[in-house]
Amino acid sequence: VNVAGSMTLKEVAALLWAKSAVTRLYNTYCEAVFFAFPEYRIQPPWEHALKAKKDLCGRQVREVELIQKHDRMTVLSQFLLNVGLYYALPGYYPSATDMVAPWYERALRLLGNHYVLSFGMYWMHRSLHVVPWLWDHIHSYHHWARHPLSRNTYDDHWVDNFANAVVGHCWAQILCPLDRGCFWFSHLFRILESLEKHSGVSCYFNVA
The tens digit of pLDDT for each residue in 9-51 reads 999 999 999 999 999 999 999 999 988 988 888 877 666 554 5
Separation of alpha carbons 155 and 23, rounded Å: 13
Do 91 and 2 touch, CB atoms closer than 8 A?
no
Separation of alpha carbons 173 and 169, rounded Å: 6
The pLDDT value given to residue 126: 96
Cα 109 to Cα 52, 105, 170: the distances in Å are 49, 6, 15
User: Among 25-29, 44-48, 176-180, 202-206, which stretch is predicted with the lowest mean pLDDT?
Assistant: 44-48
Separation of alpha carbons 53 and 63, rounded Å: 12
Report which residue type is found at 92.
Answer: Y
Tell which phi-psi region holds residue 126, choosing left (phi > 0), alpha (psi between -120 and 50) or beta: alpha
Q: What backbone phi and psi angles, to 5 degrees, belong to 60?
A: -70, 160
Question: Would you place residue 93 in the very low, low, confident or very high pLDDT band (cuts 50, 70, 90)?
Answer: very high
Do 171 and 83 touch, CB atoms closer than 8 A?
no
DSSP state of 64: H
